[in-house]
Amino acid sequence: MDGKSILLVDDEQLILECFSRELTSEPLGFDVGLATSGEEAIDKINSGHWDLVVTDLLMPGLDGFQVLKAAKRKDPHIMVIILTGYADMQSAIDALRLGADDFLQKPCDTDELLYRMNNCFSKQDLQRTIGMYEKILPVCSYCKRIRDGQPGELGKGQWYSLEEYFVKVKGVNCSHGCCPDCFAKLMPGIALEMDNSS
């Protein structure tokens, strides 16, 4: 969890100070930001980098649902934990449907919050790793064939020639011409072959 940044959002200053003190102390040492309203939280989300947002649900003005939406709109990989003082199952369901990564009832102790945070960070790291590999197109260094790995099937998939891959995936055919650089490199050899054959 080293280097993770957390935004704590609650209209109760005492709760913010308590969690902030615990999370910034050694050995945890998180980078913690504080917001006392939904409006302030959304400003901080839009202007900074956060790995996790822990937000109260019911606040004057913009509520935790709006903070959640803003965080996921900024970056779907930002983890969001919703805190509420009300044991309202419908609120929990609504939060999870909107993309919340966890839901905790207040009061909760720091150990429980840390446990949930750790789960969120593990999920986040996995999502980011998968996202990184999904952006890599596997190409054989020797024969230059391409593996068509489908989402969720990393390391699997059929190997295709360049031409087959473009037809299958892009739906386009390849022309077999020669670019100017290759033409310039190949021309002396072609000219030499023509001289030798005459």
What does the alpha-carbon distance between residue 125 and residue 122 come to, in Å, rounded to a whole number? 5
Within 13 Å, how many C-alpha atoms sit on residue 43's CB side? Answer: 7
Give the residue carrying structure tokens 């996202």: 131
141: in domain: no
- What CATH number corresponds to the domain at position 57? 3.40.50.2300
pLDDT tens-digit series, residues 5-63: 999 999 999 889 989 998 888 777 789 999 999 999 999 999 999 999 999 998 999 99
Beta-bridge partners for 131: none
Q: pTM of the prediction?
A: 0.67
Beta-bridge partners for 105: 84
What does the alpha-carbon distance between residue 20 and residue 29 come to, in Å, rounded to a whole number? 10
Task: Work out how many domains the chain is built from and give that number.
Answer: 2
Consecutive H or E run containing 159: strand 158-160
